[in-house]
Structure 1
Amino acid sequence: MPHLLFIPLLLAVLAAVTAPRPAFAQTETPVSQCQMIARSLPSVTFAALSALPALRVQAKGDEEVRITYIGHSTFFIETPAGVTIATDYNGWFKPPALPTVVTMNKAHASHYTLSPDPGIDHVLHGWEDGSAEGADHDVVVGDTYIRNVPTDIRGWGGAMEPNGNSIFIFEVAGLCIGHLGHLHHELTEKQYAQIGRLDVLMVPVDGGLTMGAESMSRVVQRLRSALILPMHRRGPPISHFLSMFGKGFDAVTSDSATITVSIRNLPKRPTVHILSGV
């Protein structure tokens, strides 16, 4: 895959920006390394180099991120600096510790809660009622930059509601980790550009409650992630989803609900990694 070929160059850039620098001003809008690297391939002309100090929170390429599947669409992400994140948090699927950050989508009550634990520091809704543009998050928490790309969502009557879902992207330890949420449609060119590079992709594989397996597989193949983590499996067996991919993809079934990821140990071939519980 094209972006994997440039990992050595990426690591060199990451090493350069991890040198001691002035403290990052969190009042500034962070720079997305996922968008920068994606846009600069294959010419590898890094835009906005003057903003590289802002990458300091994401650029520790020798560190590891721990990801645990909790249930449904909830993963528990643990960063090197101790930031903990629960995706599509609903309060039912309990992470092993109170998260620092939770993200939500409003498709169903199994993807959000309006009464999260008051001890959670950051509650990020993937929707914004009354806004034509949708939710807009650019949050730096410890060593992690969190942003979102809004997508439309299908209402109970079948009509599409603009910007009711968000793809949340977590940039940490040199990795770009994306969670598709309750994605109901194939992405536009603009949305692919907003997402940029995703090394790790969390994807619903229910086969129809979000989007049909064939459409979802096209999104996965277009995003060209190295590590694909299925979630939200109901109905069809996961083998139906796996059958949508050709010989360019590997599949691994794990006895563990946890995987430890770094920019250095990403699989060389795109791999669908089925964690225990999926």
Structure 2
Amino acid sequence: MHRISTFVLGIALLAFAAPANAQENQRPFSQCLAVAQTLPGATYANLTPDAIDWRIEPVAAGSGEVEIMFAGHSTYVITTPAGISIATDYNGWAGRVAVPDVVTMNKAHSSHFTLAPDERIGEVLRGWNFDGTPADHDVVVEDVYVRNVTTDIRNFGAMEPDGNSIFIFEVADLCIGHLGHLHHPLEDRHFAQIGRLDIVMVPVDGGLTLSHAAMTGIAQRLQSSILLPMHRRGAPLSSFIEMMGDKFLTDFVDDDSFTISARTLPRRPTILVLKGI
């Protein structure tokens, strides 16, 4: 199993819980929502010396480790320390996915969703609502909290409001995001709703979602420690990597999965290309 063993240096961002009108409707506390991104002129402070070397090597297993496996196209399978499995952009037929505990979906194409999910799946979280209202998920399953931020989606040339969702998975002190089938640049309000993302799954097709220029701009602003490419169609991956710039290291891994913890995030932002991408 591939593991990342370097330690992250930096400052913690202020986090807050979403307000609620009543105690019974209060949302779960989010450790990933960051006030700093919404403040004018605020920037992240990175205390990592550029001269510090880094490397990837095995580490001892720990109770706070999360496993992430690339299962195909836009589907990653996240397995939490408690053993909860989550499949992103689940379609029911593609990729090496058993019956997950939680699935998320987006409706851009049939490869990103299914209307007939296995009834054994405990939580089916669609990134859209059939009546056109924004999907709103705040789900806690054992040791993971799943929430979403809606974005618009192209539909026969026009933009359909709230047709896509960015899903955020908060587990083991990690903030993991999946951008879904993103069709437009994100606004400040989106970044504020997303908050901190330690790991982000980014479509790199170069046009079916967004151009490489637009997508790299989003990824650079998120400043995640690990960037996981997905939805690799069209433009070459090398073009995306080049546009991300020299602040991001690139590691091609001869495995389709790795384990990670909050303490073993890489010192420098890393594009991690798993086997099969």
TM interval, short-chain normalised: 0.7 to 0.9
Partner of residue 72, structure 2: 71
Distance across 1 between alignment mates of 2:127 and 2:9: 29
Q: How many residues align?
A: 244
Partner of residue 187, structure 1: 186
Partner of residue 210, structure 1: 209
Distance across 1 between alignment mates of 2:34 and 2:82: 23
* Corresponding letter in the other structure for 1:89: Y
Q: Percent identity?
A: 57
* Change in 2 beyond 3 A, CA 1:93/1:99: same
Aligned pair 1:145/2:145, yes or no? yes
Using the TM superposition, give the Cα deviation of residue 29 of structure 1 relative to its aligned residue in structure 2, in angstroms: 1.6
TM-score (norm 1): 0.82
Q: 1:62, 1:264 within 8 Å by CA — same for their partners in 2?
A: no
Q: How does 1:131-170 map onto structure 2 within 5 Å?
A: 131-132=132-133, 134-155=134-155, 157-170=156-169
Partner of residue 33, structure 2: 35
Q: 2:34, 2:192 within 8 Å by CA — same for their partners in 1?
A: no
TM-score (norm 2): 0.82
* Corresponding letter in the other structure for 1:71: G
**Higher helix proportion:** 1
Gaps of 5+ in 1: 14-24, 45-60
Say which SS state the counterpart of residue 268 (structure 1) adopts. Answer: coil
Superposition RMSD in Å: 2.5
Structure with bigger RCO (C-alpha 8 Å, 6+ apart): 2
1:80-113 Cα offsets, whole Å, 9 max, x none, are 0011000000012244431000000000101000
Say which SS state the counterpart of residue 262 (structure 2) adopts. Answer: coil
Q: 1:86, 1:95 within 8 Å by CA — same for their partners in 2?
A: no
* Corresponding letter in the other structure for 2:114: T
Using the TM superposition, give the Cα deviation of residue 43 of structure 1 relative to its aligned residue in structure 2, in angstroms: 11
Using the TM superposition, give the Cα deviation of residue 28 of structure 1 relative to its aligned residue in structure 2, in angstroms: 4.3
* Corresponding letter in the other structure for 2:115: L
Aligned pair 1:127/2:132, yes or no? no
Q: How does 1:262-277 map onto structure 2 within 5 Å?
A: 262-277=261-276
* Corresponding letter in the other structure for 1:6: I
* Change in 2 beyond 3 A, CA 1:38/1:147: farther
Say which SS state the counterpart of residue 33 (structure 1) adopts. Answer: coil
1:179-229 Cα offsets, whole Å, 9 max, x none, are 000000110110000000000000000010001011000000011100000
Say which SS state the counterpart of residue 170 (structure 2) adopts. Answer: strand
Q: 1:177, 1:198 within 8 Å by CA — same for their partners in 2?
A: yes
Using the TM superposition, give the Cα deviation of residue 251 of structure 1 relative to its aligned residue in structure 2, in angstroms: 0.5
Distance across 2 between alignment mates of 1:128 and 1:65: 30
Greater shift in the superposed pair: 90-99 or 75-84:
90-99
